[in-house]
Amino acid sequence: MKITEIKTTLLYDPNGFVVQDATIPPIPSGTKGRSQLFVHIHTDEGPIGLGMAPGQRAIREVIHQNLSGVLVGQDPFMIEKLWQDMFWRVRGFGRKGIAFQAIAAIDIALWDLKGKILNQPIYRLLGPAHESVPIYGSGGWTNYSEAELVAEQTGYVERGIPRVKMKVAKDFGRSEREDIERLSAVREAVGDDVEIYVDANNGYYAKQAIKMSQIFEQFDVAWFEEPVLADDIPGLARVSQATTIPVATGEHEYTKYGFRDLLLAGAVDIVQPDVHRVTGITEWMKVAAMADAFNLPVAPHAVSLVHLHCAMATPNLKVVEVLGAEEQSNSVWWTEVPPYEGGTWRPFDDRPGLGLEISPDALKHNVVDE
């Protein structure tokens, strides 16, 4: 079997949720719209692999202008070789960012293709470690009013999800009192038995984060995510060493070498690789294994429908993120997604690869530039 062609489809959901957190500048009220890029790997024997990436045209250009030629004519089962070929192809201009996200989309599609050829879900190819995985409801955006924040967080709990995440470091860390008031309101609303994670999205400075962590401890916060700039590894280490709250980070790391530096510095307690940024499933699993070697848990960032497969094969998994913002558009992109069972989740058992199919309605009404 040989790869014959790489195609892409860009879809747009006009009602998709536009997020705002600590370090995203204010967005106009009522702003909507979300895009998603899909990659299709065609073969000479029929099966087509499906991958996805953030809906950026620049990612699409890297795929077509720089990576397609690396893949066409190659054996799609040689995933590690193809990953290496792509990695070195972008060496001179894509150490991180969009080039790595392009590799990720193709790598996901290769794993989906392998699953389809072998008629197995991806998680079974990776080697299951769990029957199902725990999930948490994620949102708590800084552009929510306190009432909207509480309604969203309690909504997750009412759906049977006993773990929630909300944003802090509002206004680039300049609204400390409001951060505390919003956290207090959520804790009171969800009760003492629900885990609360807080995410600063790089918004505090190290000493500020340490001070805030001491306050957050009073609300039994279960992790403190990206308390400082993701590239400030010494700052992350200072925060981790000064608080009893586990520090979660990693969503903005693009290589196993970046994760190595985080781990060696003692700058992370909960490791959060993002399959869209860390160049796909192939590298994601290496990062998870590296975290396991440091006896640390993994909690993947976003991209839940792909991470669900990775998580099922990760013995040191903590929990899988379910983003409300993704759920909205998932209902547009896909014909069907696996349902939650209270606070746990598992992929479809009887569908190969990712187990996902793009909605014919979306292909009819939501395609951009096709």
The whole-chain average pLDDT of the chain stands at: 96
* pLDDT given for residue 339 in this prediction: 95
* Confidence at residue 228, expressed as pLDDT on a 0 to 100 scale: 98
Per-residue pLDDT averaged across 147-151, rounded? 98
pLDDT given at position 369:
77
> Residue 64 — pLDDT band, cuts 50, 70, 90?
very high
> Domains in the chain, please, with CATH?
3-119+360-368 (3.30.390.10), 124-345 (3.20.20.120)
Res 209: pLDDT? 98
The model scores a pTM over 0.85: yes
3-state secondary structure of 1: coil
3-class DSSP assignment, residue 43:
strand
| Residues 199-208, mean pLDDT to the nearest whole number | 98
Report the pLDDT averaged over residues 200-204. Answer: 98
Q: What is the pLDDT of residue 183?
A: 98
Rounded to 10 deg, the angle between the 98-118 and 281-293 helix axes is: 100
Q: What is residue 370's predicted lDDT score, i.e. its pLDDT?
A: 57
256: left (phi over 0), alpha (psi -120 to 50) or beta: alpha
The answer to whether residue 57 scores a pLDDT higher than 90 is yes
- Torsion 204-206-211-214 (CA) sign: positive
Mind listing the pLDDT tens digit for each residue in 232-263? 999 999 999 999 999 999 999 999 999 999 99
Q: Quick one: average pLDDT of 272-284?
A: 98
DSSP string, 231-284: T-HHHHHHHHHH-SSPEEE-TT--SHHHHHHHHHTT--SEE---TTTTTSHHHH
User: How confident is the model over 78-96, as a mean pLDDT?
Assistant: 95
Q: Count CB atoms within 10 A of the CB of residue 148.
A: 13
